[in-house]
Amino acid sequence: MFTGMALAIVGGFFSYVFRMQMAFPGMNVPGWGLVTPADYNMLVTNHGAIMIFWVAMPVLIAAFGNYLIPLMIGADDMVFPKINRLSYQIFLLSAVVLFVSFFVDGGGSAGAWTMYPPLMSKDEYSLTGTGSSVFLVAIALEFVAFLLGGINFVTTAMNARAPGMRYQDIPIVVWMIVIATVVFMASVGPLVAGAIMMLFDQQLGTAFFDPNRGGDPILWQHLFWFFGHPEVYVVLLPATGITAEIITVFSRKKLFAYMTVVNTAIATGILSFLVWAHHQFVAGIDPRMANIFTVTTLIISIPVAEMMFVYIATLYGGSITLATPMLWALGFIFTFLIGGVTGIFLGASGADIYLHDTYFVLAHFHYTFFPIAIIGAFAGITFWFPKMFGRHMNETLGKIHFWGTFFGFNELFIPLFITGVLGDHRRIFDYSNFPELTTPMMDGMRQFATISLIVMLGFQLVFLYNFLTSLVWGRKAEKNPWLANTLEWTTDSPPPHGNWPELPTVYRGPYEYSVPDRKDDFWPQNVPS
């Protein structure tokens, strides 16, 4: 988790540098200097890659998975602790290799996070040499780390549950992490194969993606998005799981339709393999294919919308406490709904052909990824902080941080939806070359967005301060500060080695809140009837 947070700072810094260039082209950016076009490409590429592969996945899946799975299913540890350690070490190595890629000949990879050839495979186009290859190695290592860790997660959840815990007693966040892991394992293969092919194209002169010699650059797009689209659900599912846990605890209500949500998540995972070509609507695919992928894409928004409505139904009529974790959970639902709704526009191939690669797409996926990666992570951290470190975070600072981030984020991306519809194209270094795009209004919106970003990043300092001071001086946390049912709250805060002196026995599902005729409004899973 700390590694993930450190990398988030790097990723955040990159976004600050290139947004400054967007808003004030040609200016000397404090902390970086003059941004050249090559710098710009390098920065956006690595911003995207870092945020997804080195922040969202490690924090949401690896860190929370490692911490929560054993504690929530009542196990003393993961079934293969050694593999666990190995997985983390490989992950760390991948981060080091990524940093090496910034400093080798030609600088960091600049082929965009989607790494499309020929930009990525030919030095002449991307103007980076060795950096792209080192970057691919970093990605490959990162995947190996996740495959190893994933095997551990799934096996642990299947084989190490506490006595009495049936599948329908597993807390939803564990379900979500496991489903996400399986989706990851089933989707990443083609990209691993593709990455090897790309590396060989760069270093050995193979012709996989070179049209002059019988290769096909579009093949990469298929391999990438066959992984890339499921990947968005890989990070989405754990975040929705975290949200669900928080919502039921802070509204003191049973999670509405709990098993249905689990089944929906499985269905979403499967569907996510059937929509990848909506990223190729403009790549010259057969219009009949485009229609099929339009339909599958629209279908997948149904289960996603369903999950959100289930959460809203859970809130309905509950006695809601607006503690910091709950604010994050509600913020998640709000922002993610906007992301989902704009996705439907893009899913229709006709609309997408106009909107493709504009800032509208960029705003869409930030409205989905930001709730997931950032809001989801903050929700989880603020919720489990007392358990992890045995101390409380400061609520006032937590709320300041939440509102600052929430408003900052919306003010950053709403203008970008608009500039996108008006024609701002992605990956353009300097709009001043396009007079029709540099009206005072559009310039103003770009600057407004950038300033919002800086404000939002500034509010992260509040979080850092709160996090670090609470570690040392926070109020001591009791075992179960939120009066929750799941097993992790039945052991000491922080949990001792082996988690419990004696493994708990499970008697019921995880969401028995406000059961009529009971004195307490919660009913921990390990308390006999």
- Residue 216 CA to residue 499 CA, distance in Å, equals 53
37 or 211: CB nearest another protein: 211
Smallest distance, ligand HEM to C-beta of residue 426, A: 8
**Among residues 96, 193, 302, 322, which is the contact residue for another protein, using CB under 8 A?**
193
| Binding partner of 343, given Cu ion, ligand HEM, another protein, none, CB within 5-8 angstroms per partner class | ligand HEM
Helices (H) and strands (E) in the chain, counts: 16, 2
Of 359, 74, 120, nearest to 220 by C-alpha is 120
Smallest distance, ligand HEM to C-beta of residue 427, A: 10
29 or 219: CB nearest another protein: 219
**Among residues 34, 96, 158, 464, which is the contact residue for another protein, using CB under 8 A?**
158
Which one of the spans 188-196, 402-410, 508-516, 519-527 is the region binding another protein (CB under 8 A)? 188-196
| Binding partner of 340, given another protein, Cu ion, ligand HEM, none, CB within 5-8 angstroms per partner class | ligand HEM
305 or 471: CB nearest ligand HEM: 305
Alpha helices in 286-323 (DSSP H): 287-315
For the beta carbon of residue 82, count every other beta carbon within 10 angstroms.
9
476 beta partners:
391
Q: Which helix (H) or strand (E) holds 33?
A: strand 33-34
Please state, in angstroms and as integers, the Cα–Cα distance from residue 458 to each residue in 159, 368, 376, 462, following that order.
44, 22, 19, 8
Residues 221-250 within binding reach of another protein (CB under 8 A): 223, 226
Residue 347 binds ligand HEM, judged by CB under 6 A: yes
Residue nearest to ligand HEM (CB): 343
Residue 215 binds another protein, judged by CB under 8 A: yes
Of 62, 228, 214, nearest to 151 by C-alpha is 62
Residues 80-139 within binding reach of another protein (CB under 8 A): 80
* In contact, 499 and 491? CB cutoff 8 Å: yes
Helix (H, G, I), strand (E, B) or coil at 130: helix
* In contact, 460 and 405? CB cutoff 8 Å: yes
Residue 361 binds ligand HEM, judged by CB under 6 A: yes
What are the φ/ψ torsions at residue 313 (nearest 5 degrees)? Answer: -65, -35
Give residue for tokens 């190595």: 93
Residue 191 binds another protein, judged by CB under 8 A: yes
User: Dihedral through CA 87, CA 89, CA 91, CA 97, nearest 10?
Assistant: -150
Helix (H, G, I), strand (E, B) or coil at 297: helix
- Pairing mode, strands 28-29 and 33-34: antiparallel
128 or 268: CB nearest ligand HEM: 268
Report the first-to-last Cα separation within the chain, whole angstroms: 37
**Among residues 186, 320, 351, 451, which is the contact residue for another protein, using CB under 8 A?**
186
| Binding partner of 19, given another protein, Cu ion, ligand HEM, none, CB within 5-8 angstroms per partner class | none
Which one of the spans 117-125, 182-190, 299-307, 327-335 is the region binding ligand HEM (CB under 6 A)? 299-307
* In contact, 246 and 252? CB cutoff 8 Å: no
| Binding partner of 216, given another protein, Cu ion, ligand HEM, none, CB within 5-8 angstroms per partner class | another protein
Residue 346 binds ligand HEM, judged by CB under 6 A: yes
For the beta carbon of residue 503, count every other beta carbon within 10 angstroms.
17
Residue 365 binds ligand HEM, judged by CB under 6 A: yes
- Residue 76 CA to residue 104 CA, distance in Å, equals 44
- Residue 129 CA to residue 136 CA, distance in Å, equals 12
Residue 200 binds another protein, judged by CB under 8 A: yes
**Among residues 22, 79, 262, 379, which is the contact residue for another protein, using CB under 8 A?**
79
State which amino acid sits at residue 338. I
DSSP for 394-426 reads PHHHHHHHHHHHHHHHHHHHHHHHHHHHTTPBT
Residue 289 binds another protein, judged by CB under 8 A: no
Residue 229 binds Cu ion, judged by CB under 5 A: yes
**HSE of 260, CA atoms in CB hemisphere, 13 A:** 11
**Among residues 232, 299, 455, 483, which is the contact residue for ligand HEM, using CB under 6 A?**
232
Of 154, 102, 152, nearest to 131 by C-alpha is 102
- Residue 69 CA to residue 156 CA, distance in Å, equals 8
* In contact, 409 and 370? CB cutoff 8 Å: yes
| Binding partner of 215, given another protein, Cu ion, ligand HEM, none, CB within 5-8 angstroms per partner class | another protein
Task: Give the per-residue contact string, 252-291, with ligand HEM (x = CB under 6 A; - = no).
Answer: --------------------------xx------------
| Binding partner of 361, given Cu ion, another protein, ligand HEM, none, CB within 5-8 angstroms per partner class | ligand HEM
State the number of binding residues for ligand HEM (CB under 6 A).
24
220 or 359: CB nearest another protein: 220
For the beta carbon of residue 81, count every other beta carbon within 10 angstroms.
12
Which one of the spans 2-10, 212-220, 280-288, 362-370 is the region binding another protein (CB under 8 A)? 212-220
Residue 364 binds Cu ion, judged by CB under 5 A: no
- Residue 469 CA to residue 156 CA, distance in Å, equals 34
Instruction: Give residues in contact with Cu ion (CB under 5 A).
Output: 229
Instruction: Give residues in contact with another protein (CB under 8 A).
Output: 79-80, 147, 150-152, 154-155, 158-160, 185-194, 196-197, 200, 204-208, 213-216, 219, 223, 226
Instruction: Give residues in contact with ligand HEM (CB under 6 A).
Output: 114, 232, 235-236, 278-279, 297, 300-301, 304, 340, 343-344, 346-347, 352, 356-357, 361, 364-365, 368-369, 372
